[in-house]
Structure 1
Amino acid sequence: MPAQAQWYFDFASPYAYLQFKRLNQVPSSLDYEMVPILFAGLLKHWEHKGPAEIGPKRIDTYRHCQWLAEDLGITFRLPQAHPFNPLPYLRLCISLGSSPEVIDSIFSYIWTESPPVHSEAGIKEIARRLEIDDLETSLQAPETKKQLRGNTERAIAAGVYGVPTFVVGTERFWGLDQMGMLAQWLAKPDEMAHIATANLSELPTGL
């Protein structure tokens, strides 16, 4: 039976890392799958910039994530360079089945050890830890590339525009700060019906 929901993420997102560390707060009644996607693919589709592409917003994002991590008691260290190309990390994850253990290993490596994620040495080190013998074959496998594209296209089809995002049916819950909203939606769906996507999408724009 397919999962009830999807959690879309990209390893390049510090907010995705922080939410991953809080997934134990998601109600146990929700069956969801963790789906790696390319955030840059969302940006290209929706024609907007990521937070790291706007100078002041980039710095404010790092400040907020550092504060948020400390407030939540989550270990957090910026990698040696950011933004970086997450493609090899996403492909590595998919090649290993995107298991929770693999996702945890990659997230923790990137966001707690301050590694050189932007270099060949960075991806080689996490591959070594995950006992990958032929890294190039794993990263270049056509089926792996196809799955990552498919994951990203599925997210776009669901209206996902940022990471991390939970999708439950036709409803999206974007970011760590919407976890409370997700929990309430699952617990009291009737009381939350007035903010359903289908209802609010009828509101016309005034521009």
Structure 2
Amino acid sequence: MKPVPVLLGGLLRASENVGPGEVAAKHPHTYQFCVWQAEKLGIPIRFPEHHPFLTVTPQRLLAQQNADWAMVERAFDYVWIEGKDPNLSWPDFCAYLGLPADTPKPDSPDIKALLIANTKQAREDGAFGVPALIVKQHCFWGLDTIDWTLDYLARPQMFEEASYAYAANVPNGLL
């Protein structure tokens, strides 16, 4: 499995949704949950001085570099352990990723198109937010679905079982 950089804003717009930072009550709830979850897992966490911030340029860099999991993890560490916004400290961010500090911010039409294409493909595959794992045409969205994903990998016929098929087709009483 390979990480694929996408534009969260593009996924949110496509599903007519907004991010937690755009909902007043959801903002502190989500961020405090992140702190709690990190404590439970023994993972250090330090929020950047402001969040959300624009991720398009760092995502372009990851796409341009054809980033592997190690580079993506370093990018996450820079934001969530170091507590820094890559846009405000670009040379340090690049060096943190193991790239030359003078790496320019990606701005080529090809990289922009690649990130847009990645986002479009993710939408077509069923993603509507991040993090999302697409496994055999099933979208597992959010940190809390990792165990579900692992169960699915161990039980690949899961979605063909009657209860799952029924749950997927329950009529929406609000429409």
- Map 1:39-188 to 2 at 5 A: 39-119=8-88, 122-129=89-96, 130-132=98-100, 135-136=103-104, 138-188=105-155
Q: CA deviation at 1:117?
A: 3.8
Once the two structures are superposed, residues 134-183 of structure 1 have per-residue CA deviations (whole angstroms, 9 ceiling, x without a partner) of 533x5112221111111100011112111001111221111111111111
Identity of aligned residues (%): 32
Q: Higher relative contact order by CA 8 Å / sep ≥ 6: 1 or 2?
A: 1
Q: Quote the Cα distance in structure 1 between the aligned partners of 2:157 and 2:135.
A: 15
The alpha-carbon distance between structure 1 residues 191 and 96, as it changes in their structure 2 partners (threshold 3 A), is closer
TM-score by length of 1: 0.76
Give the secondary structure class of the aligned counterpart of 1:166.
strand
Q: CA deviation at 1:116?
A: 3.9
Q: Which runs of 5+ in 2 are unaligned?
A: none
Q: Which runs of 5+ in 1 are unaligned?
A: 1-31
TM-score by length of 2: 0.89
Letter in 1 for 2:126: G
* CA contact 1:77–1:113 (8 Å) conserved in 2: yes
Output the aligned Cα RMSD. Answer: 1.9
Q: Quote the Cα distance in structure 1 between the aligned partners of 2:91 and 2:141.
A: 32
The alpha-carbon distance between structure 1 residues 199 and 135, as it changes in their structure 2 partners (threshold 3 A), is farther
Alignment partner, residue 156 of structure 2:
189
Q: Quote the Cα distance in structure 2 between the aligned partners of 1:183 and 1:77.
A: 28
